[in-house]
Each structure stands twice: as structure tokens, then as C-alpha cells.
Amino acid sequence: MTPRVVLLAADHAGYELKQDLSRHLVDLGYQVVDLGTDSSDSVDYPDFAHRLAEGIERGDAGFGILCCGAGIGMSIAANRHPGVRAANCMDERMAGLAREHNDANVLCLGSRLLDPDQAKKILWTFLETSFGGGRHGRRVEKIEGVKAGARA
């Protein structure tokens, strides 16, 4: 069986959580592509959000995980890219709904708001929940249409 690939990136505030989640993903059988940062030295979060989003755009992986202090900045930056649906999730229910209803493909986590065990539960729910399709598919298509500049 080919391992599932997940892109992973963080800024300085999310560095420790990224490292913890990377080990956790490997333990779960995922192949992790770590896009940085490589320390807790201050960096600009958009650089890493864009790097990961570009990988999702290219099809390097089906899912991406972004970690920063609150998850907000990373989600805003990542969502600037076509085909990226980044969701900042604070609990398992949000993660499940982001996948089921919005076909989210990037999970954003706030290291200053979540403990590592919470983050792992949210991550697991995100990765293991399928997109519901149906009426949700129509809505996701409309999101992508707006990103491309064609409003319905």
C-alpha cells in the first residue's frame, strides 16, 4: 500500500506543534513532506502558507496541515490559492464539518489555542472524514468559481 502524503508547514509559533504532528502522522502511516520552518526563530507565516498551498495546487499531496499561533493568518494566506480550501479548526466537530461539507484540503491549527492531544484528535478527524458531495459539491464548485473570478 502506498502511504498517503501530507504536506506540513508552520511558522515559528507553530514549529513545536508541527514537529509533534509530523511524528504522529508518520506513526499513523502517512508520508510527511515538511515544508518548514525548521526552528522557533521568527519567520513570516505567509511564506509557509503560500509554499504549502502551491504544493496543494500542483497536486503534490491531497492534504496539507498548517500550524501557527492561532491558525487564522495561515488560513487567510492559504485560501488565496485556487483549489485550496483551508479551514481553521478548533475542535473535532469543526474538522469533520470542514471535510464533509466544504471538502477542505488544508487544516490550520493554532498552537497557542490547542494542546497537542487536542490537535491530534482534530487532525485525525480531518484526515479520516470524507467529503459528503451532493448539495455540498455544488456549493464547493461555487467557491471555486468565485476564486477564478466567475461569480454565479
User: Would 152 be classed as within a structural domain?
Assistant: no
Predicted TM-score (pTM) of this structure? 0.91
- Reported as a single tens digit per residue, the pLDDT across 106-134 is 999 999 999 999 999 999 999 999 987 66
Give the total number of structural domains in the chain. Answer: 1
> Choosing from 67, 68, 89, 108, which is the catalytic residue?
68
| Residue 151, pLDDT score | 45
- Domain hosting 19: range is 5-147
Q: What is the CATH number of the domain that holds 14?
A: 3.40.1400.10
Q: What is the mean pLDDT of residues 39-52?
A: 98
- Residue 33 in contact with residue 59, Cβ under 8 Å? no
What ranges make up the beta strands (E) of 18-79?
A: 31-34, 63-68
Phi-psi sector, 133: left (phi>0), alpha (psi -120 to 50), beta: left
User: Would 50 be classed as within a structural domain?
Assistant: yes
- Reported as a single tens digit per residue, the pLDDT across 127-148 is 999 987 667 777 878 777 765 5
Please say if 68 is a catalytic residue: yes
